[in-house]
Structures are given as structure tokens and as C-alpha cells.
Chains A and B, each alone.
Chain A
Amino acid sequence: MTKTIEEINEKILNGSARVVTAEEMPSIVAELGEEGALKEVDVVTTGTFGAMCSSGAFFNFGHADPPIRMERAWINDVEMYAGLAAVDAYLGATQESVTRGINYGGAHVIEDLISGKTVEIRAQAKGTDCYPRKSIENELLLEDFNQAIMCNPRNSYQRYAAATNSTDRTIHTYMGALLPGCGNVSYSGAGCLSPLINDPKLKCTGSGVPIFLGGAQGMIVGPGTQNSPGTLFATIMTTGNLKEMSTDFVRAAAMTGYGVTLYLGLGVPIPVTDIDVVRNTAVRDEDIKTNIVDYGVPSRNRPVLAQVSYADLKSGAVEINGEEVRTSALSSFKKAREVAAELKSWVESGKLTVNLPTRKSDPTIVVKPMRESKRPPTIREIMTSNVVSINETEDIKSAAKKLLNAQTNHLPVVNAAGGVVGIVTTYDISKAVVKENQDGKVSEIMSKNVVTTTPDEVVDIAVMKLERNKISALPIVDANGHLVGLLNAVDLGKLVGKRWTK
């Protein structure tokens, strides 16, 4: 049996359609069987509410008199992209205010506009014969704009990896704060309610499909940027009228140490046309697997520490290497439920009918990493390997001599096997002299917490280590932990001309 969109819409319009949320679907299928569920259910509504960084809005402010062709424009001190000419601009949600930084950004402007607050527009231009004005400052309300159209180029990820952190310090990421020593797991996405999880082949989520977006009726534009359905990381591009949105479903947020983002509610209605749709929408949290990835590793290919299901994640704790670790979400499951329920009421009341995509999406596409024409410089390219070191059993006086002879401030300390066990600086020696301990052993005064780098490490990462630990040199070790060089600020200076350091 199959159902056509026309049949389903007819039922929606005469009020007899059976609409359920994706959370309710598995038990209906379990009870009625697939054929029974196909006959019974007409539309399944999905929902998600979480951080959608790839958000923003196109604005048209109307022409001033004399008119201006905006070249640079700000709204509450948040810069917009004004390369669209005349009085159009695009405000990105993650753009930070030039005056208030992470505490106020594009997302906050969007929330303020929706909640009816006055915003201040500022713009500059060079002035032309047809657009003579060079600058403008104005206070406006959302209702004063001709258009305010939300557009989210990369929205509603099919899945998200969950995040943890194996390093020994708290890190701040777009997945929130991650405690040291895999102290917590942060995840995102609504699991069984997530729109694209319920339509992995992208049969129902594509161009022209009506959706719930931020409380308004929006639309799917088509596949989103970074769309990768072939690896189960599909995205969609969405749009909707900001003027019809509600702050119940559009919220500005700030992630400490990361930046501004927008929390957004989005839901897709899925017409139940055939058995395939029934099967896909019967997905349960137990069936949705994701990886727990170590965000402590500053690379694109982060190691996977465990594979879990959304049921595990939602239970509040998962196991990593035999240890129980607490989990929590960045997205709100309660709000995702509200989205799916609201969308359900729209369809039930006939306010929203359904349709299939006007263009097919290719479900096999796979996203590529950036083709880097220039490799980022690694430590190998700038390191000097004639490093002076000292054995841990030698005395402080010999350390002082070595530092003096080598005209350096840092002396890596090695053990008999050549492994780095510490570092001694001229400051450590001065302290020892003041305490009249110059006859002691190097091992007594060295810092034992040595931060090291490797020849293959990208320079930016080594620079971050120096800055974060407020130190000025890093011993370079090979894969066996043996000392092969020393990186100091002077070596980094070599790259300044190439604009690699700040």
C-alpha cells in the first residue's frame, strides 16, 4: 500500500489526518505492525532545539533620503555583511559585537529584534552619484524592516559526535565545557526526534518542503553546506520569516571560550507515504549510534573513545574505558518535544499541509576535507637540533655553566635513557643560588611538568601550548620521548615574516 501526498493533504484539510510525533511512532509500529502504521498514520512530526551556529538573517532596511549604498554596516555594533549593495545586509549569528565581544553577537540582535526591542543601525559608504549618502545612523524596530529573512546555510545536522576531553585541563568548545580526564561527555541532537534521523535517504527533506523554523512556518531551501548524507552527516539549508518567529524557539547563547551562537527550534513534517517512511520514522534512541570523540586532540581527525547510542547518552552516564562518565546535552530535548508537538498541532488543525521535495537530493554525497595547497608549517621546519641538555643527576653548578655557555635560558633535563624528565631555567638556578642550594642536584630544582612538542606538530599548536602555559620554550621529543631539539620564541620569530604567529 502507498498513499499519495494529495490523499494525505485532503485528510489534513478535512481534519481527519492522524498526526503523531517521531517519539510516538516506534510504539505505534510495534503495536499495529508496519502495514497497520502506514494505514493509521498520515504525518510524523520531528523536532530539534539546539545550537545552530550556521544561522543568520538577510535584512532590507528600506531607502533613506538621500539614499545610501551601504558598504559596511553594523546593527547594535555587530557587523553585518553588506556586500549585497544598497540597503541589504546579512547578519551572521556568530558575529561578535565590536564593543561587547562574546557577550553580545548576531544571535542576540536576532533575539532582541524578535522580542520587539529597538536596534541601532550604522552604515558607511563612499557615496556615488546615485547613492550620495556616506553614512547613516538610525534606530529601528523589526517591524520597520521591509524584510528580515532567516537563512541557515548548514542546519539540522543528521547526527553529531559526542564530545569528551582526555587532557588534564578543562577545554571550552562548541560542545560546551569539557572537564579534564574525560570528566564528562557532552552531546547534541534530539535523537529519535531529530528530523534527518527520521529520513536518512532524504526522500522527504529537500527543496520546498514546509517546516517549523523558530516558531514560524519556514521552508527547506535544499541540501545544506557540508552536507554529507553518505556518511550520515546530512544537513539542510533552511529559511523562514524572522518577523513571524518567537523567542520561545529562537535564543541567543554564548559558549565560554568559544563564542556566540543561536539556539533554534526546527521541525520537519514527514508524510507517511509508504512502508519505507514507516520504517525510517520508527527509529528509536537505541538504534541511533554515535561516537564519543576526544576533543582534547587538536586535529581534524580526533580519536574515537567509544561508540554509544542516544539511549545511552540520554540515560545520564556512559562508560569510557571501564569508567562511568556523566553525560549531558547542549540541545534541549524538552524544547525539541515542544517543536514536534507544535508542528503536530499545525498539521492537525490544517494550518500546514505537506509536500515532497521539488528536487531530489543525492543521498550518496560525502563531504571532503579542505584541499590544502600549502601545508601549515611544522616544528621540523623551524627547529634547531643542536640542543644542549643536562642529566638529572648532575649538579646545579654544571647546569648554570651549560646555560651560560649555550647562551640559552632553558635546559631540558634527561635521564640515562635520554628521555625528557624536566626542564631547568636560569630563573630556577637564580632561586637555588638565593636559597644557597647551588650544590644540589638538577633534579631538585627542575620543573617536572614539562610541556613538549614533536617535530610533526603544526606550529600553531605549539604556539598555543606556549601561550596557554605561559612558558617560552618547549623541548622537542621524538615518538619514543627522546629529546631531539628545543623550540623557543626565537625559532618562532623566524615565522613572523611569514605571518604565522600573532
Chain B
Amino acid sequence: MKLQLTFTKKQGREPVIAKVILATGALINVEKAYIESLCGEVLIDVQDSDAEKVCSKFRELGVDYKKLVDSVIRDENECVECGACISICPQEVFYFDDDWNLHLHTEKCVLCGKCTISCPQRALKVRA
């Protein structure tokens, strides 16, 4: 599961993620980090089974988090199932089944936005 964390300026200086790893023993993968002078946003990936304890620890440390579900959305009326998005996405979110129907592993998305500008039909949207 992917969690989007929002840090305040003060928390940004503290090793919050390290604290959570130590306290929970969960494996946390940092997929994207965006740190500005006043606050920061970090996208992490945790195993679904660890999600609950990781979330409660972040809550305890006062870090805002949002579970990312359906982070990339496809408008099926617009999509023509060309598959152009498949080779563009760094996370291999998109794939064809044997009958050339397009499917999405949305849980793998890291919100990079590459697919949205590459889709010729403008059928993809990424949750901000």
C-alpha cells in the first residue's frame, strides 16, 4: 500500500520515517520525496499487512498521511486501449490481458504523471 505523508517544517528535520521503521519493524520504501523549505511530501510504500501499525505510528508522531487508492484513474469512455501508456509508465502499472484489454495495477502508481500527458485520448488522470 502507498501512503502519502505530509510533514511540517519541524518534522521535516526529524528522522520520522526511521523512527517508524524502528518502532514497527516494517519495511518502508520511499518512492518519491518532495521537500520544500516549509513542509514536505513523501510517498512511501509499505506491505499491506504492516499498513495499520505504520499508520498508527505516524499518527502518534503527528504526521499527516493519506492512503493512496486508485491514484491513477482511467476514463473508459475515452480510452481506446492502444496501450501507449504501457511503455511510458516507470512502474508497469498498465498491462494487456490476452485479448488486448487494458488493465491497471493502480497500487503500483507513484504519481509521476508521465502517463497523463502521454495518453493520446487524455483518458488518464492522476489524483493530486
Q: Which residues of B contact A50 (CB under 8 A)?
A: 82
Question: How far, in angstroms, from A412 to B112 measured CA to CA in the complex?
Answer: 37
Measured between beta carbons, the chain B residues less than 8 angstroms from A186 are: 84, 87
B81, B85, B86, B118: the one contacting A256 at CB < 8 Å is B118
Contact B84 A329 (CB under 8 A): yes
The answer on a CB contact under 8 Å between B114 and A177 is: yes
B100 touches A263 (CB 8 A): no
Q: Assuming A251-B121, A255-B120, A256-B117, is B87 touching A332 (CB within 8 A)?
A: no
The listed residue with most A CB atoms (<10 A of its CB), out of B80, B85, B87, B117, is: B87
By size class, the interface of chain B is: 10 to 19
Check if B122 is an interface residue, CB within 8 A of chain A.
yes
Contact B101 A334 (CB under 8 A): yes
Question: In the complex, are the beta carbons of A330 and B87 less than 8 A apart?
Answer: no
Query: Which of B81, B114, B117, B118 counts the most A-chain CB atoms under 10 A from its CB?
Result: B118
Number of A-B contacts (CB under 8 A): 66
**The residue from B101, B114, B120 contacting A330, defined by CB atoms under 8 A apart:** B120
Interface size (A, Cβ < 8 Å)?
28
Is B83's beta carbon under 8 Å from chain A?
yes
Residue B60 at the A interface, CB < 8 A?
A: no
With an 8 A cutoff between CB atoms, is B88 at the interface? yes
Chain A residue nearest in CB terms to B88 = A177
Tell me what chain A mostly uses at the interface: helix, strand, loop, or mixed.
strand
Residues from chain B with a CB closer than 8 A to the CB of A185 are 87
CB neighbours (8 Å) of A253 from chain B are 120-122
The verdict on B99 contacting chain A, using a C-beta distance below 8 Å, is: yes
Q: A334-B99, A334-B101 are in contact. Are A254 and B122 (CB under 8 A)?
A: yes
A251 to B85, CA, bound (A): 17
User: Does A261 lie at the interface of the complex (its beta carbon under 8 Å from any beta carbon of B)?
Assistant: yes
Of A184, A251, A326, A328, which is within 8 A of B80 by CB? A251
Q: Decide yes or no: A177 and B117 within 8 Å by CB, A333-B100, A337-B100 being known contacts.
A: yes
Q: Please report which residues of chain B, range 62-108, place their CB below 8 angstroms from some CB of chain A when the two chains form the complex.
A: 80-88, 96, 99-101
Chain A residues within 8 Å of B, Cβ to Cβ: 49-51, 176-177, 179, 184-186, 251, 253-256, 261, 263, 316, 326-335, 337
Known: A179-B87, A186-B84, A326-B86. 16 other contacts (CB 8 A): A49-B80, A179-B88, A184-B88, A186-B87, A251-B121, A253-B122, A255-B120, A328-B87, A330-B82, A330-B120, A332-B80, A332-B82, A332-B83, A332-B100, A333-B83, A334-B101
Q: Which 9 residue pairs of A and B lie closest in terms of their CB atoms, listed nearest first?
A: A184-B87, A328-B87, A253-B120, A334-B100, A328-B86, A326-B87, A177-B118, A332-B82, A256-B117
Question: Which residues of B pack against A, CB within 8 Å?
Answer: 80-88, 96, 99-101, 114, 117-118, 120-122
**25 contacts across the A-B interface (CB closer than 8 A):** A51-B120, A176-B88, A176-B118, A177-B84, A177-B114, A179-B87, A179-B88, A185-B87, A251-B121, A253-B120, A254-B120, A254-B122, A263-B120, A327-B87, A328-B82, A328-B85, A329-B83, A330-B82, A332-B82, A332-B83, A332-B100, A333-B100, A334-B81, A334-B99, A334-B101
